[in-house]
A and B are shown apart, each in its own frame.
Chain A
């Protein structure tokens, strides 16, 4: 197989098992003697628990146990927040597996029933008697910081989880300058529900005889789950095996460490039986993390000819009732540092208040922090263009950072790797037929039709990231990735990776990397991931990092294999190692291509080790840990045409053109599939089909609960998500 496999749109090897129903997701796991758990969740956004009586539930048919906070106290530690952003006066409210005394959001865990069957467990939930004394609740992050707002955590005054600032240049001078044009806006970035199609699930198996725990879990990062589960449950990491089998989408919602997972582990350990818990969709909506939830007050200053001189903003970022695993880093590092986007902005200042509210904890959701920055900036540029009566495309063009390829440091301190934003903009205007669209729009307007044309340019910090930077910004872990490449005697290859793809297709693209570099058939490479017992440590799949960082780890391991193969070939052919060249699967002596060994020959000889050079170890296997020197900064430009119905207000997407830079494409079919999907989701969000949860909360001083659950009302369907 030649190098052309890299860049080829081959079919995904993940698909046959997924299409035939033979892929095993967590809820499909069945173990001998397995019991089933169901979790009782708070119907109140804020209430004191005055009494819990589990007697009736305990006597329910098939019920094995009912547990509450009283049972887990001492056995389960608080769930840790793993992104402790420094310099932000961060205050972590205790996040227990079970709410103790007070529930702080609709969905807070109150009790668990374990029964012989799922139906029996669900039945017994209705038999748990809980008395609540409702407390005043607050769901709006800006209102939550008011002096008279209800307090969530007694030890955290003003509900302020953190206050983080980013500043560069003299922003006050920019706004005070003569002749400056200032536009202001208050932007609500609505709370979104990620809604992965697969609900969250956990199956825990505890073997008391060995002290070993196995946890099947719907997660994007099994190695982080192992670490966090060890912290919370006390099971040592070496005895703890986390398996992320097939995972049915995550979109950020399967990064977090959840009460339900640890409660499941607790039940299994307490009962000595395997226990499965799978959330209902209703639970998913209230107890699996949400995204976004920003209130932004923004001011943009510019000269009369449309050059941006300053950006000043305050953001109230709803964190929900507790700080989820990565939550503090999202509206700060991933949002605030991207404030200036692809533009030259000489001065910025942003204050971000992370705020506790009586809502579901907020976490990463598609893009996590960066869309909140991009939308804010693009919106302000459109406002500026309108104010100045200049074409919004022209305003963008006047402010885009000129093309660069050797690094460009922006006002927030980030150094973008390379970019040609004008080119992306030119391309999208050309492909979209922008000039013609504007005249069509004008004609339509004359006839009473309302057509809108939106153009945006963006850059995104991806490929998270250098571990030193991770440490400096308070991430409680590294952000490198790892890979093991193992050649078997027959020349077949296993790749073991620490990252944990769940729909992104890296089993295919990573095989393409190996095949293109080592001359093996792509079908001879199997990529293994998702099981902490047989994969090297890795930090997971999120932050657009699996291919950028994990793929680089793999390429580094492949290079080590190639180096060893050259040295072994040299020994076998009695040539000098520096005289061995590689091409298209063959290692040959320079100048005499007939004297060669294939990678398969080398794999066999290395594995049998009958004739190794002095000092060379047997086997053909390499491990790499790749820590990237910088983030990567893909960029692009998008164009959308919509029509608004005058009568109904309905927004119809007429056209969408996207230009996305992603570097060399390993598999263009997969790249296209993922970019299309992301564009669809974001355009649906903007047209309101991705719904806002806070609007669905009925809040009165004494009572606050979510009233309706309609998945289809909240998710785009095949009919509304149009090309």
Chain B
């Protein structure tokens, strides 16, 4: 059995017939061929698969693609296309907020969502917001610095 869906990913419309059980993360990676979204745990714990759905951070391995029918999804590829960089990316770069980079797309998108709702978060608020995103390389210190830096770049003081 398949169901029709219409999902907008980074501004591009995908109209497809899909299995109802298809996870959104696999829709993005296998159907939309956008592999920037990572699968780290397939059980919604690590946050590597985080994307923005209608500007909210969502773990795409914990949502069915059919649930995103009609929605607008933003993946890391859509954050700043054509070689440009979003201020959050600039901040992760300048504050050395990544090492192996596997968790990074999810970290960045969660940070984007955080800063959209709270332009000037404290370190504690940042740690709270990023609790659902695991990183095994950095120990998080530089990730917190990166998000603070991003807040500055975005004008939140």
Contacts and interface: CB of A to CB of B under 8 A. Distances in A.
Contact of A16 (B36, B39, B85, B127): B85
Interface string B45-56: 110100000000
Contacts of A715: 134, 136
Interface string B114-157: 00000000000011101111111111111110000000000000
Contact of B104 (A18, A119, A280, A673): A18
A425 B133 CA distance: 36
A718 B103 contact: no
Nearest to B101: A18
A646 interface: no
A677 B139 contact: yes
Nearest to B133: A718
B76 A505 contact: no
B23 to A, nearest CB: 9
Nearest to A366: B136
Nearest to B142: A673
A672 B131 CA distance: 23
Contacts of B42: 280-281
Contact of B76 (A12, A21, A503, A710): A21
Nearest to A250: B100
Interface stretch (B1-9, B64-72, B87-95): B87-95
B100 A19 contact: no
Interface stretch (A129-137, A164-172, A191-199, A207-215): A191-199
Contacts of B26: 118-119
A294 B131 CA distance: 31
- Residue of B29, B43, B79 most packed against chain A (CB within 10 A): B43
B41 A21 contact: no
B12 interface: no
B127 A674 contact: no
Interface in A180-239: 195-199
A579 B57 CA distance: 65
A649 B140 CA distance: 24
B133 A503 contact: no
Interface in A337-378: none
Contact of B39 (A196, A199, A678, A679): A199
B13 interface: no
Interface string B17-30: 00101100010010
A249 B96 contact: no
Contacts of A717: 130-132, 134, 140
B100 A247 contact: yes
Contact of B140 (A11, A19, A118, A718): A718
A24 B38 CA distance: 11
A721 interface: yes
A599 B76 CA distance: 40
- Residue of A251, A281, A680, A717 most packed against chain B (CB within 10 A): A717
B73 interface: no
B101 A20 contact: no
Interface of A: 11-12, 14-16, 18-25, 27-28, 30, 118-119, 195-199, 246-249, 251, 278, 280-282, 502-505, 669-670, 672-674, 676-681, 709-712, 715-719, 721, 723
5 contacts: A11-B93, A12-B93, A197-B102, A718-B133, A723-B141
